[in-house]
Structure 1
Amino acid sequence: MGGAAPSGRHVLRQAIRGQRRDVAAGAALGAGHQAGEALVPVLIGVLIDQAVAGGDAGALAGWLAVLAVVYAGLSFSFRFGARAGERAAEQAAHDLRVRLVARVLDPRGGAENGRLPGALASIATEDAKRVGAVAMAVMSGVSALTGLAVGAVVLLLISVPLGLVVLAGTPVLLWAGHLLGKPLERRSEAEQERAAHSSGVAADLVAGLRVLKGIGAEAAAVTRYRITSGESLAATLRAARAEAVQSGLVLALTGLFIAAVALVGGRLAVQGDVSLGQLVSAVGLASFLLGPLEVLSWVNAELAQGRASAARVAAVLAAPPDVASGAGRLPAPVRGAMRLRGVVHGPLRAIDLDVAPGEVLGVAATDPADADALLRCLDRRADPDGGVVELDGVSLHDLDPAEVRTAVLVAGHDADLFAGTVRGNVTSADDSADDSADDSAEDRAEDRADRAMAAAGVAGALPLGGETPVSEGGRSLSGGQRQRVALARALAAGRAVLVVHDPTTAVDAVTEARIAAGIREMRRGRTTILVTTSPALLAVADRVALLDGGRIADTATHADLLRRHAAYRAAVLA
């Protein structure tokens, strides 16, 4: 994601430039269609003057054949021009969605800051679609301007005054449409902002539905969403009124313009300056001009909405990353030695900690904020404000976050599950089989998944074991079942260093003791850090570090810390 931060205009230009072939082809074909439409009333006027007025049947048949050819050409041009324009719009929107998803999933983070997941989804769908539609608007605008140009040239050939009226009036109408589109642009941006916020709140409430029901907060949640949805509706109505006003005023100005053209043409016909056929052509062209001018009004509205959406897209793409990329490389193979020296981050104050390769280390934090800060540093979601975190002697700050996560997996307490099956979730973090076509690699991955599910107690907790269906977000499972599946997924990943945070808070004590023993067995020979206050988990650790007041107060076995520190006893036995 390097380079200069994109602006809304840059996003629009890039969307059009990326589809320049389809946009150019659609514009050329659309221009041909509009030119053909403009020539139809001209040919009808010629037919009247040269065939009907003179009673020449041969000339009539010839000009009718020319009209048929023109109609076939403009029909062909419209069909394939519209196809190219739609393809450009859809492809531009797709490319933009891919860029947005890549930015949101960037290992360096930052795109999600200050935005609800539903808001990001709205930007990646509705806003990307509106930006993509600008490609079609550009194509349509070029086509409409071509139609206006052809009409003006023909009118100039018929009568200079008529042509001058068109040439003078068209820029005024375009300028008026641009000015009238400004309020629409502002209100469209507010509309999309409120709609995205409403979607975010809705997604947030659905994700926490079980909790809301548990604490009896359904009424408060409904009230919150009603207020947010009402604000979104009000913003949408304001944008709709602005669009209606703009369309109505532009249509009224267009009607006055067409009436002026018809009035001038009629006076010229009465004075004998133009023939009957030329008058028919002039009136037909005046009526034809209504179409391109309406298209330009639509183009103005699309551009206004596209600019507003592009600004929102650009804000996500330009979001600064939480951490920078590093050029360092991890040694191969990774031994798993972790070292923290003088780490200062948030509530953490000068943390010093060594974890030997293959060690199972427990970390008991008396304050949950201390645990969260430590996890952020180990996962490189944030760099310490001071000090250094090293893996096998290499500072995490010098590594790309994606490379860090090939060796270090931090399994959070609130890990999400995906729709599918339990086995599909457990194997989703294990990419060993993807790197080889060898069936034995897949067999080993399946075996590791089975052992991980057994270690996490998944098989006995679910009626169909690994084949148990999982709904979106894992909401079809209980809290304890979700925890065990998430833990099994972390174990099956097989990273050199595994950091788990409170993986058993929703299971009973007997199950927790079995899971603790399973983790110990499954991670034998690999570095494991258990950030928890669970006595069962801490009891199977080789050592436990007491994190109290933002500092490492002591490091010893679980039993020794129980004897030495009241703060430790309060944290793990409360």
Structure 2
Amino acid sequence: MPDPDGQEVAVGEIATPVRPTADGRGVLRAALRSRRAALAGSSVLACLHQTGEALVPVLIGVVVDRAVDGGSPAELAGWLAVLAADFVLLSGSFRWGSRLGQRTAELVAHDLRGALVRKVLDPGGGARNGLLSGEVSSIAVQDARRVGALHMMLPLAVAAVAAIAVSAVALLWSSVVLGALVLLGTPPLLWATRRMARPLEAGSAAEQQDAALASAVATDLVRGLRVLRGIGAEDAAVARYAVASRRSLGAAVRAGRAGALLDGGVQAATGLFIALVAGVGGWLALSGSVSIGGLIAAVGLAQFLLGPLTMVAFVNAGIAQARASAERIAAVLARPAEVDTPEGDGPLPDAHRGRRLELRAVATAHLPALDLAVGPGEIVGLVAEPSAAQDLVAVLGRELDPRHGELRLDGVPAGRLPVTDFRREVLVERHDGVLFRGPVRENVAAGRARPTAPAMAAAAADEVVDALPDGADSDVGERGQALSGGQRQRVALARALAADAPVLVLHEPTTAVDSVTEARIAGGVRGLRADRTTLLVTSSPTLLAATDRVVLVLADGTTAHGRHAELLERHAAYRAVVSR
């Protein structure tokens, strides 16, 4: 895999695991440890660069002294060669140190994004619990980048300290008074800049939180624009975004104010300090305690020190932002799973037909204890209250653990099967199935090499293709937004049917299609799933009429079983539900 420099890097090198942790400090430590060799290398190169910069005024002072004192041309040429070599050293170390630091920062950000993606894709779920998708995206992009930037900032901090140390030694060589002044004055100055960075750290956390929320609200607004227009709720949605945007703006202004105060305070403090050093150096030169070259070196070093001291303030601000970002990353990585994900006993034997799906007294917050068995070749309909149906679908998709009871597949408890293996056997397709940007053909095939035409026909998605300008090559848009609700449902259903899973659970797959199309879909699903196991969680009479039997689940926990026509005739509650 190519790295940011275009070179080849092993996948294992990039995807260094970042383990879940309870706090931001753990994230920072893990990020720094994952690339400690590169961090050390860039720090050494940064120190060489800053040392070379600090030596420039010293060497210039030596050259001036040799010229004033009437030194030999050879000696003068030698010192000029040393000065040239110093420029080569500082320019080369800057180039390679910056390149290594930037590369490492990008790789660490990549590592963190990988850890967040693994958390989002974890079979147990939980990463997005309480978060909007826009917030997760903001954390994966902005916060990961800020934590990764530490690998550029810490070498700068180390180099700044090295530059101050070299400058102090050089000043001590020129004058003990100047050297002592720098050595004694620098620590209080660094402490003051650290104290001034604390308001920025607090403001940065609030800014990132509110910016992520505004991004999330904007994302949801764009995704639901068609629905909002249909119900005339655009003004309310825009007002909601305006509130979030104003909060984000206020937090950004406060963080910017804190940053400006930090920059101004640091500039003022360092300016006063450098003026003090230069003033003492001038007084020493007038008194004859320092040579002309020494004075040039002292003034040059005093001016040079502005860079390292300002760099320390810059690094403090970056560390403050990285800490806030690390806390947000840690909060996502440490979120508990929504379902248990045991290693299990391994995959089931291959299924040539469907598998037997059983629920034994399965109960959730909204679903009363349910006993249900669906065998291979059966198409069973299930009618329940919307909240109970949602819970049942979540349990069957292993997105929610039941409070009581047990889910079994071919007699094997679901808890003994790896979640990923279970989901390969039991495919759950919700009524609001998400499509991915790209052609209809690729969405239905979903990376599989099996034929899709039968599934397209069974889901009446062939009519969708016929109505699109480029047929099956038409782009469905982001999350399928280029299609109508009914078209999107049919393409998603075709994708589910094309997967040919041993067990298929369909949750209200025809809520957005007309009655004629729904009747065609009912016949198509029955024909295509003849030797598989299919559970239709729906209240559609057209789909229920195509099932082998129906199970009615009432809120009080009672159930009724029978064919659709029989239940219509003898069960008033069933008639009330399916006729709504």
Q: CA deviation at 1:23?
A: 1.8
For the 8 Å contact 2:359–2:371, the answer to whether it is kept is yes
2:521 is equivalent to residue 515 of structure 1:
yes
Percent identity over the alignment? 53
Q: Secondary structure at the match of 2:369?
A: strand
For the 8 Å contact 2:18–2:115, the answer to whether it is kept is no
2:287 is equivalent to residue 271 of structure 1:
yes
Q: Secondary structure at the match of 1:340?
A: strand
Residue of structure 2 equivalent to 1:28:
44
For the 8 Å contact 1:517–1:540, the answer to whether it is kept is yes
For the 8 Å contact 1:364–1:545, the answer to whether it is kept is yes
2:176 is equivalent to residue 160 of structure 1:
yes
For the 8 Å contact 2:20–2:330, the answer to whether it is kept is no
Q: CA deviation at 1:88?
A: 0.9
Residue of structure 2 equivalent to 1:438:
none
Choose which of 340, 361, 371 in structure 2 pairs with 1:342: 361
Residue of structure 2 equivalent to 1:38:
54
Q: CA deviation at 1:55?
A: 5.7
Which amino acid is the alignment partner of residue 362 of structure 2? V
State the distance in 2 between where 1:228 and 1:4 align.
30
Q: CA deviation at 1:550?
A: 5.5
State the distance in 1 between where 2:464 and 2:61 align.
84
Choose which of 82, 85, 90 in structure 2 pairs with 1:69: 85
For the 8 Å contact 1:516–1:540, the answer to whether it is kept is yes
Q: Secondary structure at the match of 1:480?
A: helix
Deviates more, 1:465-474 or 1:205-214: 465-474
Q: Normalized against structure 1, the TM-score is what?
A: 0.95
Alignment deviations for residues 292-338 of structure 1 (CA, whole Å, 9 cap, x no partner): 11111110000000100111011111111101211323421245111
State the distance in 2 between where 1:169 and 1:401 align.
61
Residue of structure 1 equivalent to 2:537:
531
Residue of structure 2 equivalent to 1:357:
376
Residue of structure 2 equivalent to 1:466:
472
Residue of structure 2 equivalent to 1:419:
437
Residue of structure 1 equivalent to 2:196:
180
Residue of structure 2 equivalent to 1:246:
262
2:76 is equivalent to residue 60 of structure 1:
yes
State the distance in 2 between where 1:527 and 1:31 align.
67
Residue of structure 2 equivalent to 1:223:
239
Which amino acid is the alignment partner of residue 575 of structure 2? R
State the distance in 1 between where 2:299 and 2:335 align.
55
Q: CA deviation at 1:22?
A: 2.3
2:501 is equivalent to residue 498 of structure 1:
no
Choose which of 414, 420, 423 in structure 2 pairs with 1:402: 420
State the distance in 1 between where 2:81 and 2:456 align.
77
Q: Secondary structure at the match of 1:137?
A: helix
Residue of structure 1 equivalent to 2:454:
451
Residue of structure 2 equivalent to 1:331:
348
Residue of structure 1 equivalent to 2:272:
256
For the 8 Å contact 2:266–2:313, the answer to whether it is kept is yes
Deviates more, 1:392-401 or 1:553-562: 392-401
For the 8 Å contact 1:12–1:131, the answer to whether it is kept is yes
State the distance in 2 between where 1:573 and 1:493 align.
32
Residue of structure 1 equivalent to 2:579:
573
State the distance in 2 between where 1:303 and 1:196 align.
20
State the distance in 1 between where 2:365 and 2:471 align.
41
Alignment deviations for residues 393-421 of structure 1 (CA, whole Å, 9 cap, x no partner): 22223333212111111101111111111
Q: Secondary structure at the match of 1:420?
A: coil
State the distance in 2 between where 1:552 and 1:489 align.
35
2:546 is equivalent to residue 540 of structure 1:
yes
For the 8 Å contact 2:63–2:76, the answer to whether it is kept is yes
Q: Secondary structure at the match of 2:125?
A: coil
State the distance in 2 between where 1:331 and 1:34 align.
63
Q: Secondary structure at the match of 1:343?
A: strand
Deviates more, 1:51-60 or 1:493-502: 51-60
2:390 is equivalent to residue 387 of structure 1:
no
For the 8 Å contact 1:410–1:499, the answer to whether it is kept is yes
Choose which of 131, 137, 150 in structure 2 pairs with 1:134: 150
Choose which of 56, 60, 63 in structure 2 pairs with 1:47: 63
Alignment deviations for residues 196-248 of structure 1 (CA, whole Å, 9 cap, x no partner): 00010011111111110001111111111111111101111110110110111
Q: Secondary structure at the match of 1:500?
A: strand
For the 8 Å contact 1:370–1:550, the answer to whether it is kept is no
Choose which of 287, 296, 313 in structure 1 pairs with 2:303: 287
For the 8 Å contact 1:458–1:465, the answer to whether it is kept is no
Q: Secondary structure at the match of 1:205?
A: helix
Work out the number of aligned pairs and report it: 558
Residue of structure 2 equivalent to 1:375:
393
Which amino acid is the alignment partner of residue 457 of structure 1? A
For the 8 Å contact 1:459–1:465, the answer to whether it is kept is no
Residue of structure 1 equivalent to 2:12:
none
Choose which of 83, 88, 91 in structure 1 pairs with 2:99: 83
Q: CA deviation at 1:130?
A: 0.7
Q: Aligned in 2, Cα 1:4/1:18: closer, same or farther, shift over 3 Å?
A: closer
Q: Secondary structure at the match of 1:323?
A: coil
Residue of structure 2 equivalent to 1:434:
none
State the distance in 2 between where 1:219 and 1:518 align.
42
Which amino acid is the alignment partner of residue 436 of structure 2? F
Choose which of 192, 200, 217 in structure 2 pairs with 1:201: 217
Deviates more, 1:406-415 or 1:463-472: 463-472
Q: Aligned in 2, Cα 1:550/1:292: closer, same or farther, shift over 3 Å?
A: farther
State the distance in 2 between where 1:53 and 1:543 align.
109
Which amino acid is the alignment partner of residue 212 of structure 2? A
Q: Secondary structure at the match of 1:352?
A: strand
Which amino acid is the alignment partner of residue 389 of structure 1? L
For structure 2, which runs of at least 5 residues remain unmatched after alignment? 1-16
Residue of structure 2 equivalent to 1:143:
159
- What is the alpha-carbon root mean square deviation over aligned residues? 1.5
Deviates more, 1:45-54 or 1:326-335: 326-335
Q: Secondary structure at the match of 2:505?
A: strand
Q: Aligned in 2, Cα 1:59/1:3: closer, same or farther, shift over 3 Å?
A: closer
Q: CA deviation at 1:59?
A: 2.7
State the distance in 2 between where 1:95 and 1:424 align.
29
For the 8 Å contact 1:191–1:239, the answer to whether it is kept is yes
State the distance in 1 between where 2:39 and 2:480 align.
44
Residue of structure 2 equivalent to 1:307:
323
State the distance in 1 between where 2:244 and 2:408 align.
45
For the 8 Å contact 1:383–1:397, the answer to whether it is kept is no
Deviates more, 1:14-23 or 1:526-535: 14-23
Which amino acid is the alignment partner of residue 283 of structure 2? R
For the 8 Å contact 1:31–1:143, the answer to whether it is kept is yes
Deviates more, 1:334-343 or 1:317-326: 334-343
State the distance in 1 between where 2:186 and 2:556 align.
70
Deviates more, 1:163-172 or 1:81-90: 163-172
Residue of structure 2 equivalent to 1:318:
334
